[in-house]
Amino acid sequence: MSASSALQPGLPGPGAAAPPTIWTTIAYAAAAGLIVGVAASMWGVPLPVSDNLPILLDVQQTSLRDGLAVALRDEGRLRPLFWVQYKALFAMSGGRYYLAFQGFHVAMFAATVLLWVAALRVRTVYQFAGAAVGVTVLLGLHTFGNLVRELPITVVTCCALAVVLAFMERPARWRDALAVINFVIAVFFVEIGLVVWVVHVAAYLCGRRGVSRGAVVALTAVCAGYFALRFLVLPAGAPPVFPRDTGFGFANLSESELRSEYASHRYAIYLYNIAASILSVLFSEPRGGIFEFTRRVLADETRPWMWVNVLSSAATSVCLLWFLVRRGITLRLSALDRDHAMIVVALAMLASNAVISYPYSRDVVMSPAGLGYALAAAVAIGWLLERAASMPGFRRMAVVGLLLLVSIGWSMRTIGLTYSLRRTAFVNRNDWAGVEEWLNQSGRLPAGGPGRALVEQLKRESLAFRVPNPGLAQPDAEDFFGTGTY
């Protein structure tokens, strides 16, 4: 603590964060309204069938010990905590499955958005405006939308927590410990949890000292331990060459097509997937590896929401580029200020997320990068607004006009998220209507006992949801706001 602040209690010392302001409160309030609105829509969505029911039946019939043993013997992936989360929620639900699973999902969603706001540390009117637009970037981006529609969101919450911890002004032991625990949870939940380590290392290199050097060393040791465990101890190893279908150009390639026709060009496919994932976050095109917007433009089959998606993303990425060009790109990362460091960390998240996701391209697997992109957008928009304030009249109006259009575009995409949740509610409820046949086709329909009772209870509860039919309830609005998917 400096001598002056030691003499004047209440003043922040060097390295301490400036205290919250009224703009901090307004930024949280704006985010809270959006959280409430999206959470209310999420609460009307029945649990997804195909992504959840088989796991629920599995955790019902398997003990924690046996389930963990199976998860650790998996080949091609290492996700024991994914299974443990389902088991724990199932055990704690007391038979109120929707409350446990969707309640946890909604709580994690709210925590993620609040952590996202906390990471920005809003103090000025410009930062507030950047955060207000940025939160719609977070919610309106297709990567996050897919995440909200599916379960679970845990890894993105871990990434948001990592950014908050990494960007604190100085380390504390408890935060160091939390950073390591957070990384262990993320990385053993799903592979993209490795992005948490990237956040900490990138932030440390950029001069952020929210976690100590010792903690960064510990995080790196955990990362090395993860790879050793995965490749030397357990049978997980690398993912299969082509674990699932993926988009390429204007079409989707099935697993069998990939294996038969592209096996000798697999590295080219991987490079394509990495590039497609990065472009998808920056420009909302391609989606899942498919250049669907381009195809529709060529076929004259576009709808307004598609233009809104691509143009809002492109304009936001231009803002990021503007920031980087004007602020300069330097190798002296440790000299970067907080805003600049945030954007560099976001770019590191984008690159690492895309590389980790090399085997296939999917919107949802880029959700950590989407969180970073929204942080970067908030910072860049706040910075641009601050710069615009000192520009001459016409230039100021042009910049503010561009930012206003960006803001309107992302707000429309956030409305699209609620439309997509409404459509998901309709689809999920209808999936439950034919659940027995679906399970029967894959030979997984329990003949009786607790398994059959679970299916019947979930089906009964899902059919009881009162869901609007998208064919009747404002069907034309979807043309402008979209439903999250082509």
Footprint on this chain of other proteins (rule: CB under 8 A): 29-34, 36-38, 40-41, 44, 125-126, 128-129, 132-133, 135-136, 381, 385, 388-389, 396, 400, 403-404, 407-408, 410-411, 414-415, 418, 422, 426, 429-430, 432-434, 436-437, 462-463, 466-469, 471-474
Nearest CB to other proteins, comparing residues 49 and 258? 49
Cβ distance to other proteins smaller for residue 149 or 200: 149
Residue 283 CB coordination number (10 Å) = 17
| Residue nearer to other proteins on the CB measure, 84 or 374 | 374
Query: If you compute the radius of gyration of the chain from its CA atoms, what whole number of angstroms results?
Result: 23
Closest separation between CB of residue 394 and other proteins, Å?
A: 14
Residue 401 Cβ, how far from other proteins at the closest point, in Å?
9
Cα→Cα distances 104→85, 92, 291, Å: 10, 11, 35
Least Å distance, CB 157 to other proteins, is 21
Of 17 and 29, the one with the shorter C-beta distance to other proteins is 29
Least distance CB 215 / other proteins (angstroms): 35
Shortest distance, CB of residue 35 to other proteins, whole angstroms?
Answer: 8
Q: Going along 228-364, which residue ranges are E strands?
A: 246-248, 251-253
Give min distance, CB of 90 to other proteins, in A: 24
Distance of CA 473 to the CA centre of its chain: 29
Q: Are 374 and 141 in contact (CB under 8 A)?
A: yes
C-alpha–C-alpha distance, residues 140 and 77, integer Å: 30
**Dist CA 24 CA 35 (whole Å):** 16
DSSP 12-37: --TTPPPPP-HHHHHHHHHHHHHHHH
Please report, to the nearest 10 degrees, the dihedral formed by the alpha carbons of residues 27, 30, 35, 38 taken in order: -140
* Nearer of residues 38 and 458 to other proteins, judged by Cβ: 38
Nearest Cα neighbor of 159 from 171, 170, 143, 173 is 143
The span from the CA of 171 to the CA of 187, in Å, is 22
Instruction: State which residue, 122 or 203, has the beta carbon closest to other proteins.
Output: 122
Query: Between 135 and 253, whose beta carbon lies closer to other proteins?
Result: 135
CB of 314 vs other proteins, minimal distance in Å: 18
Distances (CA, A) of 50 to 56, 61, 150: 11, 18, 10
In the complex, least distance from residue 101 CB atom to other proteins, rounded to whole angstroms: 19
Exposed e or buried b for every residue in 323-334, given b needs 16+ CB within 10 A?
Answer: bbeeeeeeeebe
Evaluated on CA atoms 299, 302, 306, 307, the torsion sign reads positive
Task: Return the number of other C-beta atoms located less than 10 Å from residue 227's C-beta.
Answer: 12
User: 10 Å Cβ neighbour count for 414?
Assistant: 22
76: left (phi over 0), alpha (psi -120 to 50) or beta: left
Q: Nearer Cβ to other proteins, position 104 or 410?
A: 410
184 versus 319: smaller Cβ distance to other proteins: 319
Nearest CB to other proteins, comparing residues 12 and 33: 33
- Cβ proximity to other proteins, 30 vs 53, nearer residue: 30
Q: List phi, psi (to 5°) of 249.
A: 70, -120
Closest CA to 53 of 86, 23, 20: 86
In angstroms, rounded to a whole number, what is the distance separating the alpha carbons of residues 446 and 435?
A: 12
What the block records as the tokens of 353 is 């997320």
User: In whole angstroms, how close is the CB of 322 to other proteins at the nearest point?
Assistant: 15
Give me the least distance between CB of 344 and other proteins, in Å please.
24
Distance of closest approach, residue 424 Cβ to other proteins, in angstroms: 13
What is the closest distance, in whole angstroms, from the C-beta atom of residue 479 to other proteins in the complex? 15
Q: How distant is the alpha carbon of residue 283 from its chain centre?
A: 16
Closest C-alpha among 190, 189, 188, 215 to residue 199: 215
| Residue placing its CB nearer to other proteins in the complex, 222 or 408 | 408
What is the chain's length?
Answer: 486
